[in-house]
């Protein structure tokens, strides 16, 4: 009974996050609609995470536990980059990025265990582990440097928020798409959305370079 209620809340929150994400993406950055959609998205993803933890324990689902940790870090750190205008990391930021790095290593360890047992889902854990470590390292490098320009901070904000979106879309594709090999629905959103993250970063960098010239 408890598990069913948690699952309903989990799915509802994930659906809300999935609807809010494109609104935040297409609206003017820093505008009222962007901020509102971002708050709804962050709140919904927090509920997704909080319900995923007990669901993972109830069902002994290591996949759900690791993916939930990955997605929540992405949204939490993305929110922190948006709100922390100084760019100076706080203890909560160091703690979060440390947990993210450990989660990535945990995914790789689980990938080895899956590969040893002949489970093809090791591909999923390998890919998500690499993504977790790469994004965690990027945040770590940002934190270790002195406060930088707002452009770089916003770049980290968008990158991590879109990274959280990858996890949300992944959950939808896994539930609704049957494919062979079984890991394809897990990897497909990463393959599709990652180029969008790269494009956003290039776009932001170019815009920041044009601004001084205009002045």
Percent of the chain with pLDDT over 90: 16
pLDDT digits (tens, 9 = 90+) for 121-135: 888 888 888 988 988
Model pLDDT, residue 3: 81
Note the pTM of the prediction, 2 decimals: 0.78
Q: CB within 8 A of 185, min separation 6: which ones?
A: 170, 173, 174, 177, 179
Indicate the average pLDDT of the chain: 83
Pick from 31-45, 91-105, 181-195: least confident: 181-195
Range from 58-62, 63-67, 70-74, 188-192 that averages highest in pLDDT: 70-74
Q: Give the whole-angstrom CA distance, residue 204 versus residue 151.
A: 7
Model pLDDT, residue 209: 65
């Amino acid at each position: 009974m408890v598990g069913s209620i948690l699952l309903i809340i989990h799915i509802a929150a994930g659906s809300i996050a999935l609807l809010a994400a494109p609104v935040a993406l297409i609206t003017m950055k820093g505008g009222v609609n962007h901020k509102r959609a971002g708050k709804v998205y962050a709140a919904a993803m927090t509920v997704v995470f909080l319900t995923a933890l007990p669901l993972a324990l109830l069902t002994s689902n290591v996949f759900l536990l690791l993916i939930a940790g990955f997605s929540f870090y992405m949204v939490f750190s993305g929110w922190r980059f948006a709100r922390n205008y100084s760019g100076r990391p706080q203890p909560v930021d160091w703690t979060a990025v440390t947990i993210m790095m450990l989660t990535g290593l945990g995914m790789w360890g689980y990938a080895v265990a899956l590969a040893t047992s002949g489970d093809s889902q090791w591909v999923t854990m390998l890919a998500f582990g690499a993504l977790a470590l790469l994004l965690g390292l990027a945040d770590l490098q940002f934190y270790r440097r002195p406060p930088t320009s707002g452009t770089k901070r916003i770049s980290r904000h968008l990158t991590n928020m879109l990274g959280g979106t990858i996890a949300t879309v992944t959950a939808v594709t896994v539930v609704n798409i049957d494919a062979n090999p079984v890991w394809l629905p897990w990897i497909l959103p990463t393959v599709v959305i990652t180029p969008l993250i790269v494009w956003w970063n290039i776009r932001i960098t170019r815009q920041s370079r044009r601004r001084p010239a205009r002045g």
